[in-house]
Structure 1
Amino acid sequence: MRRTLWLVLVGLLLVVGGCAAATAGALLWARAALTQPTGGAWLPPSAPPTPSPTPTPIPAGALSEARALEAAFISVYQRVSPSVVHITTRATAFDLFRGPIYQEGTGSGFVWDSEGHIVTNNHVVEGADQIEVILADGATYSAVLVGADAYNDLAVLRIRAPREKLMPVTLGDSSRLQVGQWAIAIGNPFGLDRTMTVGVISALGRTLELSDRPLGEVIQTDAAINPGNSGGPLLDLEGRVIGINTAIRSPSGGSIGIGFAIPVNTIKRVVPELIARGRYPHPWLGASFFEITPAFAEAFRLPVDHGLLTVQVVPGSPADQAGLRGATQRVRTRFGDVYLGGDIITAIDDRPMRRVDDLVIYLENYKRVGDTVTLSIVRDGRPQTLTVRLGERPVR
Structure 2
Amino acid sequence: MHRLLIVFAIFIVAGCTSANAPRPQLNEVPTPVSQLPRPTATIGPSPTTLPPLATVSTFDEAVISTAGLNEIEQQLIALYQRAHLAVVSLDVVVDQSANLPPGHPPVSPDGLVGQGSGFLFDTQGHIVTNHHVVAGATNIQVRFANGATVLADLVGSDPDSDLAVIRLTNLPEGLEPLPLGDSGALQVGQTAVAIGSPFGEQNTLTVGVISGLGRTLRAPARSFGSFSIPNVIQTDAAINPGNSGGPLLNLRGEVIGVNTAIAVSLGGRDFEGVGYAVPASTVARVVPALISQGRYDHPWLGISMTTVDTLFAQRFGLSIDRGVLIGAVQPGSPAAVAGLRGGTTSATYRGLPVQIGGDVIIACNDEAVFSSDQLVGIIDRFQVGDQITLTIWRDNESVTVPVTLAARP
> How far apart are residue 95 of structure 1 and its match?
10
Give the secondary structure class of the aligned counterpart of 1:257. Answer: coil
1:308–1:161 CA distance, 2 compared to 1 (3 A): same
1:247–1:341 CA distance, 2 compared to 1 (3 A): closer
CA distance in 2, matches of 1:16, 1:128: 18
TM-score (structure 2 length as normaliser): 0.75
5+ unaligned residues in a row in structure 2: which ranges?
5-14, 17-22, 38-65, 100-104, 221-225
CA distance in 1, matches of 2:405, 2:362: 18
1:8–1:297 CA distance, 2 compared to 1 (3 A): closer
Q: What pairs up with 1:314-393 in 2 under 5 angstroms?
A: 314-327=330-343, 329-330=344-345, 339-364=355-380, 366-393=381-408
CA distance in 2, matches of 1:126, 1:84: 20
TM-score (structure 1 length as normaliser): 0.77
Q: Pick the aligned partner of 1:259 from 270, 275, 278.
A: 275
1:114–1:312 CA distance, 2 compared to 1 (3 A): same
User: For each residue in 1:192-245, what CA deviation from the matched residue of structure 2 results, as whole angstroms up to 9, or x when unmatched?
Assistant: 111112222223333335674333322222222111111111112221112111
For residue 150 of structure 1, what is the aligned residue in structure 2? 159
CA distance in 2, matches of 1:126, 1:302: 45
Could you tell me whether the CA contact under 8 Å between 2:334 and 2:403 is conserved in 1?
Answer: yes
- Give the partner amino acid of 2:151: S
1:245–1:311 CA distance, 2 compared to 1 (3 A): closer
Identity across matched positions, percent: 47
Q: Relative contact order (alpha carbons < 8 A, sep ≥ 6): 1 or 2 greater? A: 2
Could you tell me whether the CA contact under 8 Å between 2:195 and 2:243 is conserved in 1?
Answer: yes
Q: Pick the aligned partner of 1:9 from 7, 28, 51.
A: 28
Could you tell me whether the CA contact under 8 Å between 2:127 and 2:167 is conserved in 1?
Answer: yes
Instruction: State yes or no: 1:189 paired with 2:193.
Output: no
Could you tell me whether the CA contact under 8 Å between 2:262 and 2:275 is conserved in 1?
Answer: yes
CA distance in 2, matches of 1:374, 1:128: 42
Q: What pairs up with 1:171-186 in 2 under 5 angstroms?
A: 171-186=180-195
Instruction: State yes or no: 1:70 paired with 2:89.
Output: no
Could you tell me whether the CA contact under 8 Å between 1:243 and 1:263 is conserved in 2?
Answer: yes
CA distance in 1, matches of 2:116, 2:354: 45
Give the secondary structure class of the aligned counterpart of 2:128. Answer: strand
Structure possessing the higher radius of gyration over alpha carbons: 1
CA distance in 2, matches of 1:377, 1:95: 45
Give the secondary structure class of the aligned counterpart of 2:113. Answer: strand
For residue 29 of structure 1, what is the aligned residue in structure 2? none
User: For each residue in 1:13-69, what CA deviation from the matched residue of structure 2 results, as whole angstroms up to 9, or x when unmatched?
Assistant: 46289xxxxxxxxxxxxxxxxxxxxxxxxxxxxxxxxxxxxxxxxxxxxx9784333
Instruction: State yes or no: 1:90 paired with 2:90.
Output: no
Tell me how large the CA RMSD over aligned residues is: 3.0
1:282–1:76 CA distance, 2 compared to 1 (3 A): same
Could you tell me whether the CA contact under 8 Å between 1:5 and 1:208 is conserved in 2?
Answer: no
1:130–1:333 CA distance, 2 compared to 1 (3 A): closer
- Give the partner amino acid of 2:327: V
Larger CA deviation: 329-338 vs 3-12: 329-338
> How far apart are residue 173 of structure 1 and its match?
1.2
Instruction: State yes or no: 1:220 paired with 2:265.
Output: no
User: For each residue in 1:321-369, what CA deviation from the matched residue of structure 2 results, as whole angstroms up to 9, or x when unmatched?
Assistant: 3222334x445789897645432222222333343333222212x1111
